[in-house]
């Protein structure tokens, strides 16, 4: 009887530990986000469909991107193609980032800090409005189409966090569960060069912080162990 009680206590402890971990997942080392269109410039919806299909940003923690310090985060904007489209401006609406630290341009790309236009076009129609900051924006050098992020190209924007903020805070802010400026992070891009003409503004889809797979396996294993123990006890009765 004593051995059974000790085993049940151990199983209960593991179950409680697993449950706690499952509801407080550790931050992922990197995440990839897509974008949705906020402008009505293309009545056919073709530009919006192209943007959703091939424009993305990957967000890296300091230990996954070479050269980053602990107080920095890397945003890897890329265009998978093949349809004509060019990212020419990048904006950050946030209260947790400080300023752009440096920019790494991929082959054929040339971006510099300080976007023109200074504000994300149509960003003021969002709720709440997209607040652009010159210290947290960048655009392609003239000529903007040639130096922007075309199909198969990329640009990396490395940004300093505000004091006390972490990569985990970045993930929470990207989830947009709190839309106050101090706790949100939205990424905006201005895209030109579509075959259908016109230009479009886009904002990232909200991100949901994932539960690490190893923790899910741990929870499944504990549940299985509890079930097996219950069956053994039932057979003994």
Q: Where are the domains of the chain?
A: 1-25+212-237, 27-210
**Across the beta sheet with 185-192, what order do the strands follow?**
97-105, 154-161, 72-79, 55-60, 30-37, 200-204, 185-192, 86-94, 137-140, 111-113
- C-alpha to C-alpha distance for 167 and 27, rounded to whole angstroms: 8
**Confidence at residue 157, expressed as pLDDT on a 0 to 100 scale:** 98
**Confidence at residue 209, expressed as pLDDT on a 0 to 100 scale:** 59
Please report where in the chains the tokens 């912080």 appear, as a residue: 209
**Confidence at residue 18, expressed as pLDDT on a 0 to 100 scale:** 42
CB 57, CB 32: distance < 8 Å: yes
**Confidence at residue 220, expressed as pLDDT on a 0 to 100 scale:** 39
Handedness of CA 109, 88, 112, 146 (dihedral sign): positive
Query: Token digits for 10?
Result: 């151990």
**CA within 13 Å, CB half, 175:** 12
Query: Which stretches of the chain score pLDDT less than 70?
Result: 1-27, 209-237
27-210 — its CATH code?
2.60.40
CB 155, CB 107: distance < 8 Å: no
């Amino acid at each position: 009887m004593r051995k059974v009680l000790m085993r049940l206590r151990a199983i209960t402890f593991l179950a409680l530990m697993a449950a706690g971990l499952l509801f407080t997942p550790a931050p992922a080392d990197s995440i990839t986000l897509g974008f949705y269109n906020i402008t009505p410039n293309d009545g056919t919806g073709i530009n919006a469909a192209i943007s959703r299909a091939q424009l993305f940003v990957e967000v890296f923690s300091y230990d996954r991107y070479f050269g980053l310090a602990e107080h920095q985060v890397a945003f890897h904007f890329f265009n998978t193609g093949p349809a004509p489209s060019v990212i020419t401006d990048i904006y950050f609406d946030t209260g947790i980032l400080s300023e752009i630290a440096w920019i790494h341009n991929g082959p054929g790309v040339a971006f510099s800090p300080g976007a023109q236009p200074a504000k994300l076009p149509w960003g003021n129609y969002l709720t709440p409005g997209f607040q652009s900051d010159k210290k947290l924006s960048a655009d392609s050098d003239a000529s903007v189409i040639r130096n922007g992020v075309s199909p198969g190209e990329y640009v990396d924007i490395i940004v300093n966090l505000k004091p006390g903020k972490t990569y985990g805070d970045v993930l929470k802010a990207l989830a947009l569960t709190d839309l106050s400026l101090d706790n949100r992070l939205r990424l905006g891009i201005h895209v030109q060069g579509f075959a259908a003409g016109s230009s479009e503004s886009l904002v990232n889809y909200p991100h949901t912080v994932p539960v690490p797979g190893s923790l899910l396996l741990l929870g499944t294993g504990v549940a299985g162990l509890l079930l097996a123990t219950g069956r053994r006890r039932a057979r003994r009765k």
